[in-house]
Chains A and B, each alone.
Chain A
Amino acid sequence: MEKRDIENELKELQNKLDTLKQDVQGDEKKAILPIINQLEESALSLKAELYRKITPIERVQLARNPNRPTTLDYIKYLIKDFVQFHGDRRFMDDEAIVGGVGFFEKIPVTVIGHQKGRDVKDNIKRHFGMPHPEGYRKALRLMQQAEKFHRPIINFIDTPGAYPGLGAEERGQGEAIATNLYEMSTLRTPIISIVTGEGGSGGALALGVADRVFMLANTIYSVISPEGCASILWRDSSKSGEAAEALKIDANNCLMMGAIDDIIEEPHGGANEDHLKVAANMREKIRIALEELSQYSIETLLEQRYNKFRKIGQFKE
C-alpha cells in the first residue's frame, strides 16, 4: 500500500472513531465498545505501518519537531534535586547549552545538553540551540568538575550545529570544539551521550566523545545538514530529501556504521507524542549503561573509549 493511501485510511478511521464517540451515548455506547476497540486497534497498526515507511527527510522533520522534549525536559523527568550552573568563567553564559548536577536514581551525576528554545523569544536567547565557544567551554568546565568529584556525566545532544557568527569565530569556535574532543577523550569518569534531536556536525560531537553513545529512534546524527549538503553538491537546498537519504543520518545507519552503541525507542509518531514514555525508555538505558560502566577501572574505561573511536572509518590499503 502507498503511504498516501495509508494516511488517508488512517484519517478516515480517525473520523469514524470521533463520530462514534461523540454521537453515541449511554447504553448504546456500551454496546458498540467492541467496535470502537477494534477501530482503535486498526488505527494503531496503520500508524505502525506508516512509521515503518518513514522517509529520511521525514525523519529529519521528526528530529526537529519543536514539541519533542528538550534537555531541560529530560532533566525534569529523570534528574532529582537538579541544580543548574552557569558560565564559562571567561566571557559569558551561553544558554544554548545548559548544565548542572543532580541525582539520577540515587547517583549524583553531571548533566549537560544543548537547549533549544520553547518559543520565539526563548529561541532567540538560546540561538536555536547553536552554541558559541562559551557554551562548549562551560560544558568542558562542568565535565572537568564532574571528573574531580568522580561523578558520571550524561550529555544530551540536540543542535543544528555550532553558531556561525562573527563573535563565535573571533573567540575560537574551532578551538573550543577541538578542545572538548581532546579533553573528553581522557576524562577520568564515565560519559554517556544521547542524541535527543538533531546531532548537527562538530557542534554535536563536542558533547559526544563518550563511553556510550545512544540515539533516540527518530533522531539524526550528521556531518552536515541535508540542506547544506544539497546546496553544496547540487547548488539547490530544496534537494534536501535526496541529501538526507545519501548521508544515511538515521539511527539505524549510525548504529550499523559503529558511530553509536544503541537506539532508544520512541512512540510511533515521535517523542513529541509521549514525553513520559520516552523518558522512561531513556531512564532504563542510562541505568543499565551506568551499571555496566561502573564495572571497569578508569584505565580500562579510557582504553575502551579510545578504541571505540579509533576503529571508526572505512578504507583499504
Chain B
Amino acid sequence: MSNLFIKCPSCGVTHFQSILVKSLFVCPECGFHHGIDSAARIKYTVDKGSFTEFGKNLCSLDPLSFPNYEEKLKSSMKATNMNEAVVTGTATIEESPCVIAVMDTRFIMASMGSVVGEKITRAFEYATEHNLPIIIFTASGGARMQEGIYSLMQMAKTSAAAKKHSDKGLLFVSVLTHPTTGGVTASFAYLGDIIIAEPQALIGFAGPRVIEQTINQKLPTGFQRSEFLLEHGMLDKIVSREMMRETLGNILRLHQNVSKPQKEYRIEQYGLK
C-alpha cells in the first residue's frame, strides 16, 4: 500500500501513483522527472507492440571472483526480473524503424560491465548491418568496478562500434537521463550525432562528491545538470518525457533517407525532381 502515494523529492508534494502513471512519472506540481524502469521507458517511447528484444539471455560472470559480486548479481536479477542493466532491441517510433537500447539503474546502478558493453556493441553492429538508426537512453553510475579492467575496456569496445555505425552514414541519437556518469558518459553517451537530455538530469564524468573533495569548495547549484550543460554547449536539446516520443519521431523522419545510406546530397532522393 505504501506504493499508492509517491512523494516528489523535488517539491515535496505527494501524489497518487495512478496520477503519476498518467503523467509518465513527471511531477504535475513541479515537473520533476522521477526515475523510471526500462519497461516503462520503452512503453512511453516506441509504437505499441513494435518492440522486439535481442540479447536478453546475456548474463554476467564473476571473472575476477570479486568480493560479494555474485550475490549482488543474483539479488539484482531477482529484484528486477532482468538479466542485466540494459535492454536492447528493435522498434518503431511514430512508424520509423530503429534499434533502441535502454539502461536501467535498478540493476547495480546500470554500471557498465562486460554484458552491458557487449549488448550496446551488438546493438550498434545490428544497426550497422541493417542500415538502421540507433537511439540509446543512457543512465549509469559508470563502469562496473567489480569486473575490473574488463569493464574499462567496454568503453573502447562500444565507442569503436559507434564509430563503425557512423562511418556508414547512419544516425545515432543519444538521450541522457538521470544519472549518466563515469565510463558511460566518457564513451557512447557522448558520441551521438544528436545529444538530448531529460530535464534536471545529472550528467558528468566525475561524480560531484569527488569534485568537491578535489577542489575543496562547494559546487554551484545546478552544476552538472542538463540545463547547465545546455548552457555550456554540451547538449543539443532538453526534452521533457512527455515530448520525447514526438521529438524522436520527428528526428527519425528527418533522417529517413539514411536507411539507404547515400554518399552525397542528391535532390532526386527526395523525389523533388
**Chain A positions near chain B (C-beta within 8 angstroms):** 162-166, 168-175, 177-179, 181-183, 185-186, 201-202, 205-206, 208-209, 221-224, 228-229, 232-233, 242, 246-249, 253-254, 257, 259, 305-306, 309-310, 312-317
For residue B188, CB closer than 8 A to chain A, the reply is: yes
Known contacts A165-B211, A166-B219; is-contact A315 B118 (Cβ 8 Å):
yes
Chain B neighbourhood of A310, CB < 8 A: 121, 157, 160-161
- B194-235 residues with Cβ-Cβ distance < 8 A to A are 203-207, 210-211, 214-215, 219-220, 223-224, 232, 234
The dominant DSSP class at the B interface is helix
B155-A181 in contact (CB<8A):
yes
Compute how far the CA of A72 lies from the CA of B183 in the bound complex, rounded to whole angstroms. Answer: 28
Contacts beyond the supplied A162-B186, A312-B153: 5 A-B pairs with Cβ under 8 Å: A175-B190, A178-B155, A228-B210, A309-B157, A309-B160
With a 10 A CB-CB cut-off, give which of B64, B150, B211, B220 has the most chain A CB atoms. B150
Q: 1/0 per position for B165-197, CB-CB distance to A under 8 A?
A: 001000000000000001101111111000000
With a 10 A CB-CB cut-off, give which of A178, A186, A259 has the most chain B CB atoms. A178
B165 to chain A, nearest CB (A): 11
B192 to chain A, nearest CB (A): 10
For residue B100, CB closer than 8 A to chain A, the reply is: no
B119 to chain A, nearest CB (A): 9
Chain B neighbourhood of A305, CB < 8 A: 160
A316-B159 in contact (CB<8A):
no
A259-B149 in contact (CB<8A):
yes
Q: A172: nearest residue on chain B (CB-CB)?
A: B234
A111 to chain B, nearest CB (A): 21
- B106-140 residues with Cβ-Cβ distance < 8 A to A are 114-115, 117-118, 121
A304 to chain B, nearest CB (A): 12
Known contacts A168-B205, A179-B191; is-contact A314 B155 (Cβ 8 Å):
no
Compute how far the CA of A169 lies from the CA of B147 in the bound complex, rounded to whole angstroms. Answer: 26
For residue B40, CB closer than 8 A to chain A, the reply is: no
B156-A309 in contact (CB<8A):
yes
Q: List the one stretch of B15-23, B28-36, B53-61, B250-258 in contact with chain A.
A: B53-61
B150-A312 in contact (CB<8A):
yes
Compute how far the CA of A165 lies from the CA of B214 in the bound complex, rounded to whole angstroms. Answer: 7
B148-A247 in contact (CB<8A):
yes
Compute how far the CA of A193 lies from the CA of B131 in the bound complex, rounded to whole angstroms. Answer: 33
Contact of B187 among A163, A169, A178 (CB under 8 A): A178
For residue B43, CB closer than 8 A to chain A, the reply is: no
Compute how far the CA of A209 lies from the CA of B158 in the bound complex, rounded to whole angstroms. Answer: 12
Q: A210: nearest residue on chain B (CB-CB)?
A: B156
Chain B neighbourhood of A171, CB < 8 A: 232
B183-A223 in contact (CB<8A):
yes
A264 to chain B, nearest CB (A): 18
Chain B neighbourhood of A233, CB < 8 A: 67, 145
A164-B211 in contact (CB<8A):
yes
Compute how far the CA of A177 lies from the CA of B188 in the bound complex, rounded to whole angstroms. Answer: 10
Compute how far the CA of A223 lies from the CA of B155 in the bound complex, rounded to whole angstroms. Answer: 10
B223-A257 in contact (CB<8A):
no
A229-B163 in contact (CB<8A):
no
Q: A202: nearest residue on chain B (CB-CB)?
A: B186
Chain A neighbourhood of B187, CB < 8 A: 177-178, 181, 202
Q: B159: nearest residue on chain A (CB-CB)?
A: A181
Q: B233: nearest residue on chain A (CB-CB)?
A: A172
A306-B164 in contact (CB<8A):
yes
B121-A162 in contact (CB<8A):
no
Chain A neighbourhood of B211, CB < 8 A: 164-166, 169
Contact of B189 among A165, A174, A206 (CB under 8 A): A174
A201-B143 in contact (CB<8A):
yes
Compute how far the CA of A168 lies from the CA of B223 in the bound complex, rounded to whole angstroms. Answer: 12
Contact of B190 among A162, A179, A309 (CB under 8 A): A179
Chain A neighbourhood of B27, CB < 8 A: none
Contact of A182 among B118, B121, B163 (CB under 8 A): B163
Q: B84: nearest residue on chain A (CB-CB)?
A: A315
With a 10 A CB-CB cut-off, give which of A165, A228, A246 has the most chain B CB atoms. A246
Compute how far the CA of A253 lies from the CA of B149 in the bound complex, rounded to whole angstroms. Answer: 9
B152-A222 in contact (CB<8A):
yes
- A-B residue pairs in contact (CB < 8 Å), sample of 29: A162-B206, A164-B210, A166-B211, A169-B205, A169-B223, A170-B232, A174-B205, A175-B190, A175-B234, A177-B186, A177-B205, A183-B163, A186-B167, A201-B152, A208-B156, A209-B156, A221-B152, A223-B145, A233-B67, A242-B67, A248-B64, A248-B149, A257-B149, A259-B153, A310-B160, A312-B114, A314-B114, A315-B114, A317-B59
A145 to chain B, nearest CB (A): 19
A185-B163 in contact (CB<8A):
yes
B59-A309 in contact (CB<8A):
no
Chain A neighbourhood of B207, CB < 8 A: 164
For residue B162, CB closer than 8 A to chain A, the reply is: yes
A202-B155 in contact (CB<8A):
yes
Known contacts A169-B223, A205-B155, A313-B157; is-contact A224 B143 (Cβ 8 Å):
yes
Known contacts A174-B189, A224-B143; is-contact A202 B149 (Cβ 8 Å):
no
For residue B261, CB closer than 8 A to chain A, the reply is: no
Known contacts A164-B210, A181-B159; is-contact A316 B143 (Cβ 8 Å):
no
B205 to chain A, nearest CB (A): 4
A311 to chain B, nearest CB (A): 9
